[in-house]
Structure 1
Amino acid sequence: METDNVGVAMKMVEEGEVDAAVASELSARYMIDHYYPQGLHYTRIDGLPVAAIRLAIPRDEPVLAAILNKALQVIPPRDILQMTEKWSKISSQQIENWSQYSRQFYQLIAFALVLIAISLGWGLSLCREVRKRKDSQQRLEEELAQKEALSCALGARKRQSDSGDKSQEPLSGQHEPRAAHAGERHRRLSGAAGET
């Protein structure tokens, strides 16, 4: 698998995406010493001139180093030189963590700010809703208290007027029959007077 540069190849080895990376000895030594001193080490391929090519492999894989050395011995030196020329002509590139991860960092901050803004907006809307409900509940309770007071007052007046009507009913009932009796008596008397 080919990569764009030695830095990417070393990162792939460290993350376990590939077992080893082939690079020039200078590039491998520089990258491992500066960026991966604890995770990777480089080894020289037997049978090649010094500084021609090195492999970067995990430190805990000595068996893999031996296997790769034997496999690379089969590759003709001319092919190995062609592989190493690709990297030796590339200017040294430093791995800058900030440039690699700054975009993700800003995206994470933007996402967090959006979440905070949404949470604050939601919290404010809930506070407004609670305040509205409390106000409407208070108004309803006041209206209910007024209606109960009016209903009690109306009930008391009705009872008072009902009791007043009942006390006047016997009197008015007594007057009406008397008036009727008086009217009859008056007719009888006037009829009797007319006969005489």
Structure 2
Amino acid sequence: MSAPRADRRGYGRLDRATIVTVALAIARREGMAAVTMRAIADELGKAPMTLYRHIGDREALLVAMLDVVAGEIEPPPPSPDPRTEIIGLVTAVHHVLHRDAWAVMVQITEGLASPVVLPLMERLFKALRAAGVGPHDAAPASAVIWDYTYGELLRAHQQDPDSFASRMARESDPELYPNLTEVRRVRSHEEHFPEGITIVVDGVLARYAHP
């Protein structure tokens, strides 16, 4: 008789941390749609109902998974320059989420987040205030920055060179669409985020900051 799957994979005793570890592995390997209690239980060689004693419900599981991802964010050292501070913080988040497409979708579609990021958010709002952004403008200013960041992450994760939209642009008539052809040829393989977030932050501070 073969050993239980949990023993073969070396997970050891069943606890919250083990469940989250397995859920993360499934999400990173197969995507968020594959993360179900049954799939996790099968991976552990357990009955699905045994998981609920340790993790609560699906929302608790997702938040615990986000906690792990958020814990991988390495914020830069504090900067006395608000612009540098803002760009550095957002770039640190982008760097981690660029590796975890499932975490981007969970935050956007289900409105979940990890409390682990609260110190980072406090730093961001502190930097906005130091730049001269008033308390009434800090929320929309922050929203613009994060909307760009998550939008860029969605584009990066979902970009398929063989998708209909990609083929449409690639196969467009260069005589009819010379500007589209030129831009696509020059910029299609470059990393957009560093330049994009700089433009966005500069625009936000120009609009909202009143030293």
TM-score (norm. length: structure 2): 0.23
Larger relative CO (CA 8 A, sep 6+): 1 or 2? 2
Q: Which has the higher strand share?
A: 1
Say which one has the larger Rg. 1
